[in-house]
Amino acid sequence: MQTTLAEPYRNTPEGDVAERILRNCVHCGFCLATCPTYQILGNELDSPRGRIYLMKQVFEGATPTAKTQLHLDRCLTCRNCETTCPSGVEYGKLLDIGRHIVEEKIGRGIAESATRSALKTGLGSPMLFNSALKLGQGVRGLMPRFLKSRVPPTEAAGAWPAPRHPRRMLVLQGCVQPGLKPNINAAAARVLDRIGISLVAADEAGCCGALAHHLNDTDAGLAAARRNIDAWLPHLEAGAEAVVMTASGCGMMVKDYGWLLRHDPAYADKAARVSAATKDVSEILAAERDALKPLTAHRSPLTGKRIAYHPPCTLQHGQKLGGDVEALLTQAGFELTPVAEKHLCCGSAGTYSILQPEIAGALKTRKLGHLQAGAPEMIATANIGCLTHLQSASPIPVRHWVELLDETMAAS
């Protein structure tokens, strides 16, 4: 795509990246076929190709408008288009730059700014989120049905094994996951403990930074990244093998630390090391499949259960990881039902389901229809956002797949 950057963007880090990505786009339109918002809205400006044109105009000097911002905001950042694109267009990186520039130029209204600030503060702080969650759970029984579906009941975590093995790995606790589903990380710790790996958390680590980053607060996102790098690096230097992610959205963000901090002289190398050490829990367990096999070879109450698996966009498109979870569940004795449109987003996408509820709701309905078509007994996924979004409207349980794996082992 022929591109002539306006003077303010020439020879700048952001401009150089944007120009490279724009020139890679050949305007073929393959991305339209796999873009969830285009599927729902049918407007090319709500497709990757349309948004690329909008951003190209801005980089070439056009003044963005509220309409420009609306179409960029409607993107789920699912990166399905990157999987589809034959030219290797790094759309996600372009969108991050474009959204930030458009927001700097036109800003946001008071109400919208307040909402986004509240989301960054409330969801990004485990203390604030857990306090609000406990309050809501305390009065859940008095809530009308439409509100009750948004507040999950209290769940307890099982035992977290004490560190006892020479092999150690770190885990990111996350922001909302410990409050909503505290058993997920504990289940991962139990599974790893059974194959001789101790999972530990660095207390100083916190939010991965994705919430702020995708709400265009670049500084807050990078500050979170630096804090986590400082918390994890001493453990990696002391022999911890990896930083394990049980939420694929967080995993995608941490794997991008090296890119996001590439121009920071104090953190570029450290960020690259942390990103290289970051693994989704499915990557770890797939590499340890031989050790897992005898632990799941017996029959358990879960053997033969019909499971519909939803691979989160952040896992299959963002991290380019596919097939490992399905293989591990099959090895553990589950029957995976066929699911159509596995490549499409469920509509969760971090805070998207809150900021764009109509589109998110339509995608959720569409996704649940496909997941339930094979009459499964449960739905499994790999990201807390997808899990809670789907569970809010699902008549059958939605679980993190590592919990199911843990339960098959516990029955031995």
Please report, rounded to a whole number, the percentage of residues in the chain having pLDDT higher than 70: 93
SS3 336: strand
Asked whether residue 179 carries a pLDDT value surpassing 90, the answer given is no
Measured distance CA(412)–CA(404) in Å, rounded: 13
Measured distance CA(191)–CA(211) in Å, rounded: 29
Amino acid at 320: K
Instruction: For residue range 324-366, list pLDDT tens digits in order.
Output: 999 999 999 999 999 999 999 999 999 999 999 999 999 999 9
Return the HEC string of 343-355.
CCCCCCCCCHHHH
Q: How confident is the model at residue 270 (pLDDT cuts 50, 70, 90)?
A: very high
Mean pLDDT of 370-392: 96
* Cβ–Cβ under 8 Å, residues 241 and 169: yes
Q: At what angle do helices 110-124 and 126-138 cross, to 10 degrees?
A: 90
Q: Which of 150, 9, 144, 30 shows the shortest CA–CA distance to 81?
A: 30
For 24-28, 128-132, 303-307, which range has the lowest pLDDT when averaged over its residues? 128-132
230's tokens: 């400082």
Asked whether residue 220 carries a pLDDT value surpassing 70, the answer given is yes
Task: Identify the bridge partners of residue 200 per DSSP, sorted by sequence position.
Answer: 170
Burial of 230 by CB count in 10 Å (0-12 exposed, 13-18 middle, 19+ buried)? Answer: middle
133: Cα separation from own chain's centroid: 21
Instruction: For residue range 28-61, list pLDDT tens digits in order.
Output: 989 999 999 999 999 999 999 999 999 999 999 9
Between 141 and 55, whose confidence is greater?
55
pLDDT of residue 146: 62
Cβ neighbors of 243 (< 8 A, separation 6 or more) are 169, 170, 171, 172, 232, 236, 254, 274, 277, 278, 279
Task: Identify the bridge partners of residue 400 per DSSP, sorted by sequence position.
Answer: 381
Instruction: For residue range 346-356, list pLDDT tens digits in order.
Output: 999 999 999 99
Asked whether residue 242 carries a pLDDT value surpassing 90, the answer given is yes
Q: Whole-prediction pTM value? A: 0.92
Starting at the edge strand found earlier in the chain, the sheet holding 167-171 runs: 197-201, 167-171, 243-245, 278-280
Say how many CA atoms lie within 13 Å of 346 toward its Cβ. 33
Rg (CA), the chain: 21
pLDDT of residue 119: 85
148's tokens: 């009750």
